[in-house]
Homo-oligomer: A and B are copies of this chain.
Amino acid sequence: MTDVLAPAAAPTAEGRFRAAKAASVRLATATTLQKDRGLEAIAAALLARSAEVVAANARDLEAARAAGMAAGLVDRLSLDERRVARLADAVLAVAQLPDPVGGVVRGGALANGLQLTQVRVPFGVVGAIYEARPNVTVDIAALALKSGNAVVLRGGTAAQHSNEALVAVLQDALAEAGLPADAVQTIDEFGRDGAAELMRARGLVDVLVPRGSAGLIQAVVEQSKVPVIETGAGVVHIVLDASADEAMATGIVLNAKTQRVGVCNAVETLLVHADAAERLLPPVLGALTAAGVTVHADDRTRRVVDGLEAATDEDWAAEYGSMDLAVGVVDDLDAAIAHIARWSTHHTESIVTADLASAERFLAEVDSAVVMVNASTRFTDGGEFGFGAEVGISTQKLHARGPMGLSELTSTKWLVRGTGQTRP
């Protein structure tokens, strides 16, 4: 006789991974229409249960303030009815995107008549590790679901109540739409042990995407046994070539530094060709300073423009994320490319030039995810690239490089159709 009063087995992180894996099998063969209905149900449920989510968020906010969390972080943790409504809109926008699953990558017939087709398939289970920003919970879940993946979410412990409320809303909406509720899992309640287990869950979790600070991403890259897509850090360079037009140079540098601060595609280091230093440094640095930018300059720059702070090696390595910019003068394009090779995080670099040979050399020789000629580095962005949504910007070379859209959340599989062929 079953004892109905026996306590249920305590939930475990591994139990959540297994539930996600089982759900991923069903999700992998769901049609685009079924997945879009699921996303629409999620958006509707977020609006309908907004008060519940905001109440859970209030618990997190209270604890965060009591713990003395910095105001900026508290703001990123905060949800109100308006922010929840924006999350619902974002989910509906994902539903509108093309479904990458089933897309044919390549194919053809072999001499023996075998028909080969390489098609996009979901990874299966996508893991995400991020900081206490509950909007990321909804964002990543929507992108994963649209691309046919189940998702295991490890947000910051400081957002645990918000994340649990959001995941409950998402799970209920999926079930209502006839999709497996287990396709979205949160493991915040298991704390650091849960994160460590997620990084060891090779075989249950197919890929791990860390999002957040450089320190968080580095820790995941170092510790994970699950394959990781490294996103992130941007020590981004702009080079002003000898032939750069002054107005174009000023416009691009100003835009790349000040249009939005604290983003990974903002410029952090400006390198100026020695032959153009006296012509370009005064107007370009003048415009930057007028806009409130603090310039950290090498000696050669300071010989041209007075009153600048001296740059050290720390400045060349810095991803300021603020209204600061490192500026140096280089002998030539070789020296600029060598500086970038040494200090760049290989995210985005741009050259301003009127010289064809310089442009083509820069494009060919700079080894970064995105290499630009005469454009602001702020364009490195999934939305700007026309992907409709952005999973992150990959700074690794394996699988995905640069802005990642939905198709970067898929793998492929070869389908082979025969009529009894055997190998001679």
Contacts and interface: CB of A to CB of B under 8 A. Distances in A.
Interface residues of A, number: 71
A216 interface: no
A28 interface: yes
Nearest to A418: B375
A416 B372 contact: yes
Interface in A70-114: 108, 110, 114
A422 interface: yes
B124 A397 contact: yes
Identify whether the interface residues of A are mostly helix, strand, loop, or mixed: mixed
A378 interface: yes
Given A110-B384, A227-B396, A378-B422, A413 B25 contact: no
A363 B415 contact: yes
A116 interface: yes
11 contacts: A110-B386, A124-B367, A245-B420, A252-B420, A252-B422, A371-B415, A371-B416, A375-B416, A378-B422, A401-B412, A401-B413
Interface of A: 25, 28-29, 108, 110, 114, 116, 118, 121, 123-124, 202, 206-207, 221-222, 225, 227-229, 245, 247-248, 251-252, 254-256, 259, 341, 350, 359, 363-365, 367-376, 378-380, 384-386, 396-399, 401-403, 411-423
10 shortest A-B CB distances, which residue pairs?
A: A375-B418, A255-B422, A397-B411, A399-B399, A378-B423, A372-B416, A248-B420, A227-B398, A370-B414, A374-B418
Given A25-B341, A372-B417, 19 more contacts: A25-B365, A29-B364, A108-B386, A110-B386, A207-B397, A227-B398, A251-B420, A259-B422, A259-B423, A363-B417, A373-B417, A374-B418, A375-B418, A375-B420, A379-B423, A380-B416, A397-B411, A398-B398, A402-B413
